[in-house]
Structure formats: structure tokens, C-alpha cells
Structure 1
Amino acid sequence: MISHLTLLLLLQLAGEVIARGLGLPVPGPILGLLMLLSLFAARPDLSERIRSTNAAILGYMSLLFVPAGVGIVGHLDLIADEAVPLLVTLVASTLLALLSAAAAFTAVARLTGQRDE
């Protein structure tokens, strides 16, 4: 598990170094994730071996939402004052995300010839 965690952190670090070193507008962890994906393509057995480490990390992901929850409780008065604009923004962004996902799905289906008529 330690070696798998080290691999994940080294890939993230490598992505960060590449992104900052080349001045790319892409976050380093995304580049690290792409490198991990290419490793999985090159060595399919690696994805099975690293699965337990990933499951352990994902099991603790909910802890990352604790600060956000505390921030919400700490600013309830501000949220109450701005409830309508927040609600409109939330609904509009959700609809925009759904429409974008549907458009992307349709475009990929057309490109791959897998349209269901």
C-alpha cells in the first residue's frame, strides 16, 4: 500500500513540476492523472494491484467536506441574505451542466456511429 501511495504522490508531483515548469494552463494533478492512466494502459495489472489503495483513499474523501460544512454553518446569515441569487445560480448551473453532458454524449454517439434511433 505504501508503494502504491508513493506512486500516486510521485505522479502528482511530476504533473505539478511539468505544469509549472512549462507554464501549462492545466493543473499538475490532472497531468499526473493522465500519466497514471497511461501507466494503466501500458500495464493493466497495475490497476488491479492499486485498487485497494484507491479504495482506502476514497473511503476518507468525505473528511475533505468537513471544512466546507463548517464554512456554510459559519456564514448562514450571509447565505440567508443571498438565498435567491444562490438558488438561481445553482439551478442554472445544474441545467447547464446537464445540457452540456447531453450534448457531449450525443456528439460522441454520432462520432462513434452508436446512435439509437
Structure 2
Amino acid sequence: MLQAFAVLLVFQCLGEGLVFLFGWPVPGPVTGMLLLLAALVAVPRLQDVVESGASELLRHLSLLFVPAGVGIVVAASSGSGQWLAIAASVVASTLVTLAVTALVLQGLMPRKPSAKEEGGHV
């Protein structure tokens, strides 16, 4: 499992380094995960190495949300008096996300021919 964590850390560091070196507007860990994906496709044996560590991380994923939760609680005091704006932005962004997801899903789904296109009568 230590080897799996080392591989994950190496790819994250590679991603951070590339983003810093080239000034890309993408987070380093995202770039690292794309590099890891390319490595997994190129070297399928690497999956066996990474799988144990990744499964262990996923098993304890809820612990990784604790620092974010603490940050929200600490920053909550700076949002006093702005709750209407915060609630409106959360609702609006949720609705926009749902609409965009629905449109993308609709665009990606294969279309079934209608009865008129098949030449049949309804």
C-alpha cells in the first residue's frame, strides 16, 4: 500500500510541477490525475499497484471532508448579513448545474427514430 501512495504522490507532484512550469490554468492534482490515467492506459500492470491504495483512500474518504467542514464553520462568521445572497447563489447555481447536466445528457444520448421517421402511422 505504501507503494500505491508513493505512485499517487509522484503523479500529483508531476502535475503540480507541470502546472507551475507552464503556467496552465488547471489545478496540479487534476493534471496529475490525467497523467496517472495515461500511465494506467499505457501500463496496465500499474493498476494492481495503485488499486490497493486507492481503495483504502476511498474507504476513508469522509475523513478528508473534515478540514473543509471546519473551514466552512470558521468562515461562516464572515458571511453574516449575507445569507440571502448566499442562499440565492446556491439555489441558482444548483439549478444551472442541473440544467446543463440535463442538456449534456440529452445531447449525448442516442436518438430513437420517431414513428414518422420510420414510415409508420400512429
TM normalised by structure 1 equals 0.78
Aligned residues: 113
Equivalence map 1:34-113=2 (5 Å): 34-74=34-74, 81-109=81-109
User: Alignment identity in percent?
Assistant: 36
Bigger mean CA offset, 59-68 vs 96-105: 59-68
Q: Deviations over 1:3-33 (max 9, x none)?
A: 1110100001011111110111111111110
Q: Which has the higher contact order (CA 8 A, sep 6+)?
A: 2
When residues 18 and 71 of structure 1 are mapped into structure 2, their CA distance, relative to the original with a 3 A threshold, is: closer
When residues 72 and 33 of structure 1 are mapped into structure 2, their CA distance, relative to the original with a 3 A threshold, is: closer
Q: Deviations over 1:49-82 (max 9, x none)?
A: 4222112112333223223333444466665633
Name structure 2 gaps, 5 residues minimum.
114-122
Deviation at 1:108, TM superposition (A): 2.5
> RMSD in angstroms over aligned alpha carbons?
2.3
Distance 1:80 1:106 in 2: 40
Larger Rg: 2
| Greater helix fraction, Structure 1 or Structure 2 | 1
Question: Match for 1:64: what amino acid?
Answer: L
Bigger mean CA offset, 64-73 vs 50-59: 64-73
